[in-house]
Structure 1
Amino acid sequence: MDFPRGVEVIVSALIVSPDEEVLLIRQPKWGDLWTPPGGHVEPGETLAEAAWREAVEETGLELAPDGLVRWGEIIDPDGRSRPVHFVFFDFAFRARGKALDLDTSEVSEACWVPFGELARYEIEPDFQASIERYLGALTG
């Protein structure tokens, strides 16, 4: 198998609004699936800093950190757009508002989804597991 960049470290930001909604976005690299904002870790950044930076760059939101939710691996030799082996870290953040200023070069669509309506969205399975874990901790 040819993985062009080898193993890649990525981060995601599970963002919850003041109205208890989760922000979901669509990015061309994930096809039609919904995901939280996120991306690669830059040299010199901590994982949490990278998640915060990626979220702010993609959404324009003011965010407060709420901790690490989950980590794991995605190994997909067929790839959505290329073969991948990701080691991922999903962090939670609280948004101070809901007004989005999307980076349209990265994000094709975004929406705030009430907790009870998340099942209506086709969310990338690994991100879905992180969202469920986080919401379970909030409500459980």
Structure 2
Amino acid sequence: MEFPRGVEVIVSALIVSPDDEVLLIRQPKWGDLWTPPGGHVEPGEKLAAAALREAEEETGLAELTLERLVHWGELIDPDGRTRPVHFVFFDFVLRARDKALRLDASEVAEARWVPFGELARYEIAEDFRVSIEKYLRSLTGRSSDDAVGE
């Protein structure tokens, strides 16, 4: 199996609305799975700055506030990808001031603001689901398996 770019550093943005909903998107590169917005870190770019940039580029949300890093890890050829990959990823929580989306149609096929209690209805890429679970657990101090599903 050939990995065309070697190890790739990526970031994702768990964007939380003022109504405590999470923004999920579908991108062609992830097939039918739902993910948060995100993408590659550019050379010389800091991780948090990359998360903010990717979120703004893909969603059009202009007033995002960085809350924290929620999860990091490594993905080697995950399910749902259209090509072999080896990612080192960093998932950040961002707060949106409003919910007015202006999607980049070249990157995002569909987007939805999803209430925490409805996340189990969505087929979310595995490591992104873990990030959402960690975020919800940090809010409530309880397991969020019921909210996100297995």
Give the TM-score, by structure 1 length. Answer: 0.97
Deviation at 1:2, TM superposition (A): 1.3
2:110 paired with 1:105:
no
> Which segments of 5 or more consecutive residues in structure 2 lack a partner in the other structure?
142-150
Structure 2 equivalent of residue 55 of structure 1:
55
Give the alignment of 1:115-134 within 5 angstroms. 115-134=116-135
More divergent stretch after superposition (69-78 vs 47-56) = 69-78
Give the alignment of 1:77-116 within 5 angstroms. 80-116=81-117
Structure 1 equivalent of residue 65 of structure 2:
64
Instruction: Give the partner amino acid of 2:29.
Output: K
Task: Measure, in 1, the Cα distance between the counterparts of 2:72 and 2:98.
Answer: 27
Structure 2 equivalent of residue 135 of structure 1:
136
Deviation at 1:48, TM superposition (A): 0.4
Task: Measure, in 1, the Cα distance between the counterparts of 2:70 and 2:79.
Answer: 27
Deviation at 1:135, TM superposition (A): 1.1
Residue 138 and residue 77 in structure 1: after superposition, are their counterparts in 2 closer, same or farther (change >3 A)? closer
Deviation at 1:104, TM superposition (A): 0.5
Instruction: Give the partner amino acid of 1:48.
Output: A
> Which segments of 5 or more consecutive residues in structure 1 lack a partner in the other structure?
none
Deviation at 1:78, TM superposition (A): 8.0
Give the RMSD, CA atoms, in angstroms.
Answer: 1.2
Structure 2 equivalent of residue 20 of structure 1:
20
* Aligned length, in residue pairs: 140
Deviation at 1:77, TM superposition (A): 7.7
Task: Measure, in 2, the Cα distance between the counterparts of 1:77 and 1:55.
Answer: 22
Structure 1 equivalent of residue 46 of structure 2:
46
Residue 65 and residue 44 in structure 1: after superposition, are their counterparts in 2 closer, same or farther (change >3 A)? same
2:18 paired with 1:8:
no
Q: Deviations over 1:22-41 (max 9, x none)?
A: 00000000000000000000
Residue 32 and residue 43 in structure 1: after superposition, are their counterparts in 2 closer, same or farther (change >3 A)? same
Task: Measure, in 2, the Cα distance between the counterparts of 1:11 and 1:77.
Answer: 15
Instruction: Give the partner amino acid of 2:138.
Output: A
Task: Measure, in 2, the Cα distance between the counterparts of 1:77 and 1:19.
Answer: 31
Task: Measure, in 2, the Cα distance between the counterparts of 1:92 and 1:118.
Answer: 16
Give the TM-score, by structure 2 length. Answer: 0.90
